[in-house]
Amino acid sequence: MSCDTSARAYCTHIGHQIAPILGMAPPEARAVLLELHELATTRVEAATPAQRSGRTTAQNRLAAARARAEDAAAAEATTALFAEMRSMQPPIPVPSHGEIDPATGLALPKPAAQHGWRAVYETVQAARAGRELPDLAREIIGAFRARSTSTPDAVARAALARMPSLWTTANTTASVGSADAVAETQDLAATAAQLDRRGVAAELREAAVAFREAMQGGGVAFRMARRNLAIAVVTAAGVDRCLACGRYVELDGAHTCPAEPVAAAIPVMEKGTPDRLTQEALAPHLHALSQAPFFPEPLREAVRNSSWQRGWGKLARQLRAHYEQIGQPLPSRAPSKAPA
C-alpha cells in the first residue's frame, strides 16, 4: 500500500476517534491530520542540503546534528504509529517501502515522510491524553477554522456532519417521501444555495443548480437531482469510495462491500444458473450493486439481467474481468459454496 493511501486510511479511522476531542466533525479532523502529514513532510523536504548534511560551516553542522536527532525521533514515532496500524481490528496495511527491519517487521519510508507520520502520531497522542497539541497542529487547526465557514469543501463537510443520511442517499435510490428524507431535502436546499456561487467547482455547482431547479417539479428528475447533489456533496467532503463496488464508505472505515460475496460466488455463476438458495443469498448483494453510484454501467445492466436465461454466466465473466482489472481478490474457478 502506498504512503498516501495508508495515511488516508489511518487519518480516516483516527479522525473519527479524536474529532470530539478536537471539537470538529470527523471529516474535518481527517482533513486536519492529512494536511498535518503533508505539511510536516514538505517542510523537511524543503530544508537546504547544507542543513541536512553538515558539510559547510560550524553553524550548519550543528543544524545537521539537530536534524539527525529529529530524524531519529521521527523514525521512532513512525515505527510506533505503524505498529498501531497493524494492531487495529481490522488492521490498516502499512506502506510498503524498502528493506524490512527484522526487529520490528516494518519498512520505514524516506526520512521526510517519517516526519509527516511523526507529526500525526504526536498530535493523536496529545489529543488522546488531553495535552496541548503540537504547534504545527494548532497552526493548521486555526487556519482550518478560519476558512471553514466559506470554502465549498467546508460547506460539504458541514452538510455531511448534519446529514449522515447523505451516505445512503448517495449510495442508493433512497425514498424521498419519508419524514427523514423531507428533512434531508430541506437541508440540501440550504446547502445548494450556499454552493450556487462563483468559486465553487463546476461539477459541485452544477449539481446544486440542477437540484434547485428540479425541486419544484418533483418526480424522477427531482429524485435524480437529489441523489446527484448528495453524491457531489459526499465527494467534496472527502469521503472515499470502494473500488470494488463503487459505493461510498463510512468515515470510520467500516464498509460492508456487496461485491465481496458476489465475487465469492463467481465460480458458481460461471458454471450456469445457480441453485435457488444461492440466488436468494446473492439477491440483496446484487441489488446493492445495481444501485451503486459508480458501478460501471455495463456491469450494472448485467446485474439487472442476471436472473434471465444465461444471464448468470455473462455476469460472472464480466465481474471477473472487472475485479481482475481493479485488483479485487477472487477465488479460483473451482466450484464455490453459496455466500452467507
Mean pLDDT for 232-253 is: 81
Q: Is 332 helix (H, G, I), strand (E, B) or coil?
A: coil
pLDDT at 336: 39
Mean pLDDT for 319-336 is: 66
Instruction: Give, as one character, the DSSP assignment of residue 256.
Output: -
pLDDT at 84: 92
pLDDT at 337: 43
pLDDT at 121: 96
SS3 content of the chain, % helix, strand, coil (to 5): 65, 0, 35
Residue 318 has pLDDT above 80, yes or no: yes
The position carrying cell 428524507 is 181
Q: Give the C-alpha separation, 174 to 165, whole Å.
A: 10
Looking at every residue in the chain, the average pLDDT score rounds to 81
The predicted-structure confidence for 104-149, as pLDDT tens digits, reads as follows: 667 788 888 899 999 999 999 999 999 999 999 999 888 777 665 5
The position carrying cell 524543503 is 46
Phi/psi at 258 (5° precision): -70, -15
Radius of gyration of the chain from its Cα atoms, rounded to whole angstroms: 24
- Alpha helix stretches (DSSP H) within 163-265: 166-171, 179-195, 202-214, 219-236, 259-264
**Model confidence at 103, in pLDDT bands (50, 70, 90)?**
low
Beta strands in the chain (DSSP E): none
What percentage of residues in the chain have a pLDDT greater than 70? Answer: 82
Q: Which residue has the higher pLDDT, 41 or 1?
A: 41
Q: Give the C-alpha separation, 135 to 245, whole Å.
A: 40
pLDDT at 98: 60
pLDDT at 36: 93
pLDDT at 285: 87
Residue 57 has pLDDT above 70, yes or no: no
Give the torsion through C-alpha atoms of 149, 155, 158, 164, to 10 deg.
Answer: 180
The position carrying cell 454501467 is 297
The predicted-structure confidence for 61-85, as pLDDT tens digits, reads as follows: 777 788 889 999 999 999 999 999 9
Q: Which residue has the higher pLDDT, 306 or 14?
A: 14
Q: Which residue has the higher pLDDT, 250 or 110?
A: 110
Residue 172 has pLDDT above 60, yes or no: yes
**Model confidence at 283, in pLDDT bands (50, 70, 90)?**
confident
**Model confidence at 269, in pLDDT bands (50, 70, 90)?**
confident
Phi/psi at 257 (5° precision): -85, 120
Q: Which residue has the higher pLDDT, 53 or 279?
A: 279
pLDDT at 310: 63
Q: Give the C-alpha separation, 32 to 120, whole Å.
A: 9
Mean pLDDT for 255-262 is: 81
Give strand pairing partners of 241.
Answer: 248
User: Which of 85-89, 149-153, 211-215, 225-229 has the least mean pLDDT?
Assistant: 149-153
Residue 152 has pLDDT above 70, yes or no: yes
Q: Which residue has the higher pLDDT, 175 or 140?
A: 140
Which helix (H) or strand (E) is 106 found in, with range? none
